[in-house]
Amino acid sequence: MQDDLVSPQTDTQSSAAAVRAAVVGCGGWGRNLVRNFAELGALEAIVEPNPETAQTLADQHGGRIMELDAALGDPDIDAVVIAAPAVHHYTLAKQALEAGKHAYVEKPLALESAQAEELCELAERLDRRLMVGHLLQYHPAFLKLKELVQDGQLGRLQYVYSNRLNLGKIRREEDIMWSFAPHDISMILSLVGAEPDAVDAVGSYHLHDSIADVTMMHLGFPNGERAHVFVSWLHPFKEQKLVVVGNDAMAVFNDGENWDRKLILYPHKVAWKGNVPTPNKADEKPIPLEEAEPLKLECQHFLDCVKDGKTPRTDGREGARVLSVLTAASRKLKQVREKTVGSEARSERGRVSGEHHGVMIHESAYVDDGVTIGEGTRIWHFSHILSNVSIGKNCSFGQNVVVGPNVTIGDTVKIQNNVSVYDGVTLEDGVFCGPSCVFTNVNNPRSEIVRKDEFLKTRVGKGASIGANATIVCGHTLGEYCFIAAGAVVANDVPAFALMAGVPAKRIGWMSRAGAKLGPDLTCPIDGTRYKELGDDHLAVEDA
């Protein structure tokens, strides 16, 4: 749950004050609900098993202290607000609806999809409002972000990612994904306007064998949008950030910032110049927001829906969609965990392949038929090795790496996260590929035209290093031990030992085999090796 929120006191009561509500469960988050419904003039009763807590809240905010059965049977109570532990949400919501009460349920709506569906059908049959407490859908920054997306200011939505990280609150009845991720899933589904057709998840278990402390969820949508949700309660600092990337602009909702910087628009674009993708960065634009406590807006919305008979923005059906994603992710999480724990051949973080002797292939990775892999190689999360690929010994492939088909990779090659090594690329021994660097294989691609017979070959020489987000245009050779700076675009052959930077990349110096920039004396400051120039664009080891 969120930390306690502080709102300014108000002397005016809501227009929906005629609606009377009982808050059930007045722990850490329930106290905030008691306060807000009291400030909106709608608090009728407090239902809390701890008598001291109940009395303290009644003294502060008013409201009668009642047992649950009495509150459900009281004709003066129109709605029940449920903030009990998640395991009780379904039972309490069902009791409230069957008693003729409208129901506000903190996330998640239930712990099983069938239960959520039952609650939705019950609310619709009895014409009761059923709302789920997906708080951030009522945050002024998110509402403005959604407006930017719907107005087309970001262009076509491409991907969304969220981080919800903190040290605590650690739970024993539910894992981190069920505790932290519902808000983010709710926002992502709202922004995309569709349900995912692919859900995957991985997790880490540090404090308890069966309760994940850290999870990463990946979502794929029918129109090509992608999203991921990273949550952890074992993080050194608090972070609540949502990043939305479109093809015309990008936006960041950072709830940890002050109000003047909670929502930033970045009008960055990527232009194609001579078949080379070129980022065009623009100045950030903080989006003005009207300050308001999201929880108060959420409570007011529920009261308005009850009073006017409207469907809540986060109604039961919306809660059920979020629950469906959580359920699918949990199923994936459980499958990976069972395989990891159940096999002696698996390490804590991956598995040792039986087909490829001495090779570690993570449970979420795929290796097609017709692939050879050398001993000691490790292939991590969500990677895919296609057919007719040869990989040497002691290589390391990070998360979300795609290789092939028809690719050759030497020994001790390291490929960082989010890299695709396409048909026709050869990486010799000791090559380093930084995160999100790009290899192309055709110079003039068109989606509607097949040009597989026009693929050009690219060779990266022994010991070469390619920096993060660099682009290697196909049909060229990168000399051994060359060094391509981050973000550079290589559109010509590269000499051995060359240090390349810029768009298009130009040689700005020389690099040693040990990875040090050479000075005028051409002596490596790391290992003392001396080099000599043989012409403007040719370097060699002296006396080699």
Read off the pLDDT of each residue in 313-320 and give the average, rounded to a whole number: 96
The number of CA neighbours under 13 Å toward the Cβ of 401 is 24
User: Do 300 and 172 fall within a single domain?
Assistant: no
Q: Is residue 265 part of a domain?
A: yes
Given 280, 313, 346, which residue is the final one in a domain? Answer: 313
Residue 32's closest CA among 291, 420, 294, 242? 294
User: Do 195 and 308 fall within a single domain?
Assistant: no
Which pair of structure tokens corresponds to residue 451?
A: 């040009």
Q: Is residue 3 part of a domain?
A: no
Question: pLDDT tens-digit profile of 388-421?
Answer: 999 999 999 999 999 989 999 999 999 999 999 9
* Separation of first and last alpha carbons in the chain: 65
User: Do 157 and 116 fall within a single domain?
Assistant: no
Per-residue model confidence (pLDDT) at position 355: 67
Coil/strand/helix, residue 177: helix
User: Do 199 and 303 fall within a single domain?
Assistant: no
Read off the pLDDT of each residue in 508-534 and give the average, rounded to a whole number: 92
Side by side, the strands of the sheet bearing 471-472 are: 366-367, 384-385, 402-403, 420-421, 438-439, 471-472, 489-490
User: Do 176 and 288 fall within a single domain?
Assistant: yes
Q: What is the percent of the chain with per-residue pLDDT over 90, rounded to a whole number?
A: 73
Which pair of structure tokens corresponds to residue 324?
A: 């469906």
Which pair of structure tokens corresponds to residue 69?
A: 């059965």
Read off the pLDDT of each residue in 494-508 and give the average, rounded to a whole number: 95
Q: What percent of the residues of the chain are helix, what percent strand, and what percent coil, each to the nearest 5? A: 25, 30, 45
Q: Is residue 492 part of a domain?
A: no
The confidence band for 453, taking pLDDT boundaries of 50, 70 and 90, is confident
Q: Is residue 30 part of a domain?
A: yes
Residue span of the structural domain in which 208 resides:
138-292+328-333
Given 313, 344, 365, which residue is the final one in a domain? Answer: 313
The confidence band for 427, taking pLDDT boundaries of 50, 70 and 90, is very high
Q: Is residue 374 part of a domain?
A: no
User: Do 101 and 199 fall within a single domain?
Assistant: no
Out of 166-180, 453-467, 486-500, least confident range:
166-180
User: Do 76 and 143 fall within a single domain?
Assistant: no
User: Which CATH number goes with the domain that contains 213?
Assistant: 3.30.360.10
Read off the pLDDT of each residue in 150-164 and give the average, rounded to a whole number: 94
Q: CA 68: distance to chain centroid?
A: 39
Q: Is residue 301 part of a domain?
A: yes
User: Do 64 and 156 fall within a single domain?
Assistant: no
DSSP letter, residue 449: B
Q: Are 382 and 200 in contact (CB under 8 A)?
A: yes
Q: Is residue 343 part of a domain?
A: no
Q: How far is CA 403 from CA 368, 382, 495, in A?
A: 11, 12, 25
User: Do 111 and 241 fall within a single domain?
Assistant: no
Given 248, 280, 313, which residue is the final one in a domain? Answer: 313
Tell me the longest C-alpha to C-alpha distance in the chain. 97
Distance CA 243, CA 227 (A): 10
Per-residue model confidence (pLDDT) at position 17: 52
User: Do 254 and 309 fall within a single domain?
Assistant: no
Per-residue model confidence (pLDDT) at position 182: 93
Read off the pLDDT of each residue in 123-146 and give the average, rounded to a whole number: 96
Residue type, 184: D
Residue type, 290: E
The confidence band for 504, taking pLDDT boundaries of 50, 70 and 90, is very high
Question: pLDDT tens-digit profile of 242-300?
Answer: 999 999 999 999 999 999 999 999 998 777 777 777 788 889 999 999 999 999 999 99
Question: How many domains is the chain built from?
Answer: 2
User: Do 142 and 288 fall within a single domain?
Assistant: yes
User: Do 150 and 98 fall within a single domain?
Assistant: no
Q: Is residue 502 part of a domain?
A: no
User: Which CATH number goes with the domain that contains 307?
Assistant: 3.40.50.720
The confidence band for 2, taking pLDDT boundaries of 50, 70 and 90, is very low
